[in-house]
């Protein structure tokens, strides 16, 4: 009986039904691996297109370090959402010239492109990798920007959705929320205020 109750309790923790309106939360004490994530605030950068037009982008520079005790596969997975409903996958349809411009601006020869960091992440700070997430500049009516960084943890949870046979698999994700206090005419003068930095299941 005790074993049965324990199994039921464990299933309740990891399988959440939408009927209870309870959102899954990451474990208080992580049982799965978790990579160290250090980052700098998003920065704007302007690139001139082949047609001569100026295009603005945002980029987030971050470093991934593996102190878990085991080697792990790492694949960059960053999504950005604006409060006007726009959702972007960082790196999608971004010209290679943007990364080159960022690398030059940062003056960091060790800065790797997202494609260069894909692969086995070895243990220790000597094998840490610094890369960047890049996405297009937001529109004039955006007041908030959310950055979701996945692939940092092995923790997952299942969410049962009504009228669906298979549960939705959620991954532990780092969420950064930035407030945009008035959109500047010049993106390089735009002020971002970090409102939140926390782990969620997404």
Residues 100-111: tens digit of each pLDDT? 999 999 998 889
pLDDT of 22 reads 63
Virtual torsion, Cα 38, 43, 48, 51, nearest 10 deg: 90
Tally of structural domains, the chain: 1
Count Cβ atoms within 10 A of the Cβ of residue 149 and give its class: 0-12 exposed, 13-18 middle, 19 or more buried: buried
pLDDT of 118 reads 98
Look at residue 69 and give its three-state secondary structure. Answer: coil
Rg for the chain (alpha carbons), in Å? 20
Give the structural domain span for 60.
2-201
Residue 194 has pLDDT above 50, yes or no: yes
Q: What is the pTM of this model?
A: 0.85
Q: In angstroms, rounded to a whole number, what is the distance separating the alpha carbons of residues 58 and 130?
A: 17
Question: What does each C-alpha distance from 114 to 47, 60, 71, 84, 152 come to in angstroms?
Answer: 19, 11, 19, 27, 14
pLDDT tens column, 145-178: 999 999 999 999 999 888 888 889 999 999 999 9
Most confident of 4-8, 12-16, 50-54, 89-93: 89-93
Q: Who wins on pLDDT, 183 or 58? A: 58
Residue 1 has pLDDT above 70, yes or no: no
pLDDT tens column, 16-66: 444 444 668 999 998 899 999 999 999 999 999 888 889 999 999 999 999
Look at residue 13 and give its three-state secondary structure. Answer: helix
Residue 12 has pLDDT above 60, yes or no: no
pLDDT of 184 reads 59
pLDDT of 103 reads 95
Q: What percent of the chain has pLDDT over 70?
A: 87
């Amino acid at each position: 009986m005790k074993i049965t109750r324990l199994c039921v309790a464990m299933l309740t923790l990891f399988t959440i039904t939408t009927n209870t309106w309870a959102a899954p939360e990451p474990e208080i004490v992580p049982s799965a691996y978790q990579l160290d994530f250090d980052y700098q605030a998003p920065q704007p950068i302007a690139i001139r297109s082949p047609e001569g037009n100026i295009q603005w982008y945002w980029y987030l520079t971050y470093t991934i370090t593996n102190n878990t005790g085991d080697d792990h596969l790492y694949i960059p997975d960053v999504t950005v959402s604006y409060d006007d409903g726009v959702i972007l996958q960082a790196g999608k349809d971004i010209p290679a010239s943007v990364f080159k411009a960022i690398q030059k601006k940062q003056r960091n020869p060790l800065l790797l492109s997202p494609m260069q960091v894909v692969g086995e992440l070895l243990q220790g700070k000597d094998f840490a990798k610094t890369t960047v997430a890049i996405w297009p500049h937001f529109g004039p009516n955006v007041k908030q920007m959310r950055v979701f960084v996945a692939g940092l943890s092995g923790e997952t949870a299942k969410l049962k959705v009504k009228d669906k046979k298979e549960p939705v698999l959620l991954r532990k994700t780092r969420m950064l929320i930035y407030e945009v206090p008035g959109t500047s005419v010049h993106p390089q003068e735009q002020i971002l205020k970090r409102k939140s930095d926390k782990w969620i299941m997404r």
